[in-house]
């Protein structure tokens, strides 16, 4: 219960001044019992609605402006205390953002801190000519920093890589600030994104699974449009918890585990991607956001309260699909598994219900159009593309089917130019697979302008045991062709999206050599 009446009264006075944009000195003659609609303030109904809305969020209780009842500081304080001592606490006073490190924050606290430190109150200055790299690893602090930067007119960059300049963290933004609750003029965060930030952009760094990582710029408007399309396809209204194994540092995680909770007003729990944390028994309709590599962690924990399982990032695959179908049958569960086809660059392209269709057949989202061009190229036109991009040529092998269905046959073979000649990466991979049998093989061509050959060809082989005995056939196998540099390792590293990336392989190879 909130017990200090004088402290509450003072905070209400401060909030009235802030909400109505009048000087605090004008309230000094106001008695706690004075009618706020009368002397000395003469507030109108619009003012009162704003005061009650802001006090509701400041104190985390449910308050309604009473047109015919008493409206004084005393009446507001009494309502705050009576609600705080009852079961009528607003949902905004419950933990909304939670993570596996046992950090949590209410939506009221999150929104208030963003409002407190953004715009003219931002405590740091950054270079606006380039993206500001958010270096927080904790997803809650990452989203706090991102929100403050976005609302302050900066372009936040979400990346797993640390930068040396123009970097930002939540500890930097709040350094030296008091942790005491302060009155703020509250605006719902989702509404702010949809109005003030609609044309602003957030930068995301791709995983680099197909080569060098790139920075992709997405407008807030395009991401909210994508979210609306998702919401139109599936009945998500009853979801009361989003259980996410995907960090919002990725576009997929940003939309599904940050924007979607705000839109649904449903709390989110950010899980570790190496172990499961129980989210409690107080939720009845849980949505799980995963990448295929964490399926084995989630599988034994699936219970009857799970309503949706969303997967993206890489192919879910037939083996996991069989496991999903079996667990539904064995436990008599009715959840829906949905696989989203897309990437950071394209945004969402299509979806399929896992277990109800072929593993490679997807239904296009209604806003997405695919056009077949000459030479079997496919152009995508979509509102979910990068900022100011209206169409792209896809590097995927797609079969366009009737009724807006597509069959995804994988990525097209990459072609590179070496010493003036064109070569296929697929050809080199197939040759290495001949030599190394069932061992996993990855092949990349790293373009280098300073190299007169055009770059270097590197390959990685996942193999344990003696490796020297396998090198004898390499020169014969690649006779007349460039010979790739081959790096062996016991196990390929994966990032938190479950992807094998060039940067990760190079880092592991360098570590193994040293």
What is the per-residue pLDDT across 50-103, written as a single tens digit (0 to 9) for each? Answer: 788 778 777 766 666 665 567 888 888 887 876 554 433 334 447 899 998 888
Q: Which of 71, 52, 74 is closest to 62 using CA atoms? A: 52
Give the pLDDT of residue 430. Answer: 87
Per-residue pLDDT of the chain (514 residues; tens, 9 = 90+): 344 678 888 888 888 888 888 887 888 888 888 888 888 888 887 788 778 877 877 776 666 666 556 788 888 888 787 655 443 333 444 789 999 888 888 888 888 888 888 877 787 889 999 999 999 999 999 999 999 999 999 999 998 888 788 999 999 998 876 555 555 566 678 888 998 899 999 999 986 655 567 899 999 999 999 999 999 999 898 999 999 999 999 999 999 999 999 999 999 999 987 888 888 678 999 999 999 989 999 999 899 999 999 999 888 988 999 999 999 999 999 999 999 999 999 999 999 999 987 888 999 999 999 999 977 789 999 999 999 999 999 988 889 999 999 998 877 767 677 776 778 888 888 888 888 877 889 888 887 766 767 788 899 998 765 555 555 677 778 878 888 888 889 889 988 777 888 888 998 988 888 7
Give the pLDDT of residue 148. Answer: 94
Residue 180: φ, ψ to 5°: -70, 140
Q: How far apart are CA 339 and CA 326, in angstroms?
A: 17
Residue tagged 């605006």 (tokens)? 187
pLDDT one-digit tens code per residue, 417-454: 777 677 888 888 888 888 887 788 988 888 776 676 77
Strands 361-364 and 405-411 turn out to be antiparallel
Q: Give the tokens for residue 238.
A: 């009853």
Q: How far apart are CA 266 and CA 286, in angstroms?
A: 10
Pair 39, 21: CB distance under 8 Å: no
Q: Give the tokens for residue 470.
A: 């396998």
Burial of 104 (0-12, 13-18, 19+ CB in 10 A): middle
DSSP string, 141-199: HHHHHHHHHHHTT--EEE-SS--SSSEE-HHHHTTT---S--------HHHHHHHTTTT
Q: Give the tokens for residue 410.
A: 């994988």
Q: Which residues contact 19 (CB under 8 A, 6 or more apart)?
A: 47, 50, 51, 54, 185
Looking at 422-472, list the stretches that DSSP marks H as alpha helix, in order from N- to C-terminal side. 425-436
DSSP string, 88-112: -B-GGGSEEEEETTS-EEEHHHHHH
Q: How far apart are CA 350 and CA 342, in angstroms?
A: 7
Domains of the chain: 1-83 (1.10.1200.10), 106-197 (no CATH), 220-413 (3.40.50.12780), 415-512 (3.30.300.30)
Number of alpha carbons in the 13 Å side-chain half-sphere of residue 456: 6
């Amino acid at each position: 219960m909130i017990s200090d009446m004088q402290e509450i009264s003072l905070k209400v006075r401060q909030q009235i001044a802030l909400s109505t944009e009048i000087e605090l000195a004008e309230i000094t003659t106001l008695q706690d019992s004075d009618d706020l609609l009368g002397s000395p303030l003469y507030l109108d109904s619009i003012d009162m609605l704003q005061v009650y809305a802001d006090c509701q969020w400041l104190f985390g209780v449910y308050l309604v402006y009473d047109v015919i009842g008493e409206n004084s500081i005393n009446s507001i304080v009494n309502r705050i205390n009576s609600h705080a001592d009852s079961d009528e606490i607003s949902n905004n006073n419950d933990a909304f953002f939670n993570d596996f490190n046992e950090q949590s924050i209410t939506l009221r606290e999150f929104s208030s801190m963003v409002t407190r430190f953004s715009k003219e109150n931002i405590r740091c200055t950054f270079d606006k000519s380039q993206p500001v790299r958010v270096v927080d690893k904790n997803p809650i602090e990452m989203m706090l920093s991102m929100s403050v930067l976005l609302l302050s007119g900066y372009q936040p960059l979400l990346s797993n890589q640390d930068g040396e300049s123009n970097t930002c963290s939540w500890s930097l933004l709040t350094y030296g600030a008091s942790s005491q609750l302060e009155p703020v003029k509250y605006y719902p965060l989702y509404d702010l994104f949809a109005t003030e930030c609609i044309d602003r952009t957030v930068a995301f760094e791709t995983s680099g699974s197909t080569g060098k990582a790139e920075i992709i710029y997405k407008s807030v408007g395009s991401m909210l449009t994508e979210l609306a399309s998702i919401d139109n396809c599936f009945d998500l209204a009853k979801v009361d918890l989003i259980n996410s194994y995907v960090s919002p540092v990725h576009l997929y995680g940003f939309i599904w585990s940050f924007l979607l909770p705000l839109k649904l007003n449903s709390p989110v729990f950010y899980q570790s991607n190496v172990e499961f944390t129980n989210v409690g028994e107080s939720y009845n309709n849980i949505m799980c956001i995963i990448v295929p590599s964490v399926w084995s962690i989630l599988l034994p924990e699936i219970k009857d309260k799970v309503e949706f399982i969303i997967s993206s990032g890489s192919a879910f695959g037939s083996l996991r699909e069989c496991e999903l179908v079996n667990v539904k049958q064995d436990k008599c569960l009715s959840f829906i598994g949905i696989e989203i086809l897309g990437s950071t660059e394209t945004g969402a392209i299509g979806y399929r219900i896992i277990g109800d269709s072929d593993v490679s057949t997807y239904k296009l989202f209604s806003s997405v159009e695919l056009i077949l061009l000459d030479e079997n190229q496919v152009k995508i036109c979509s509102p979910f593309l990068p900022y100011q991009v209206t169409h792209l040529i896809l590097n995927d092998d797609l079969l366009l089917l009737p009724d807006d269905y597509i069959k995804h046959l994988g990525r097209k073979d990459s072609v590179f130019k070496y010493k003036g000649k064109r070569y296929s990466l697929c050809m080199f991979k197939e040759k290495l697979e001949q030599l190394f049998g069932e061992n996993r093989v990855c092949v990349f061509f790293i373009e280098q302008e300073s190299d007169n050959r055009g770059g270097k060809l590197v390959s990685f082989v996942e193999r344990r045991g003696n490796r020297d005995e396998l090198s004898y056939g390499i020169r014969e196998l690649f006779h007349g062709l460039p010979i790739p540099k081959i790096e062996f390792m016991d196990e390929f590293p994966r990032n938190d999206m479950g992807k094998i990336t060039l940067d990760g392989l190079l880092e592991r190879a360098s570590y193994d050599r040293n």
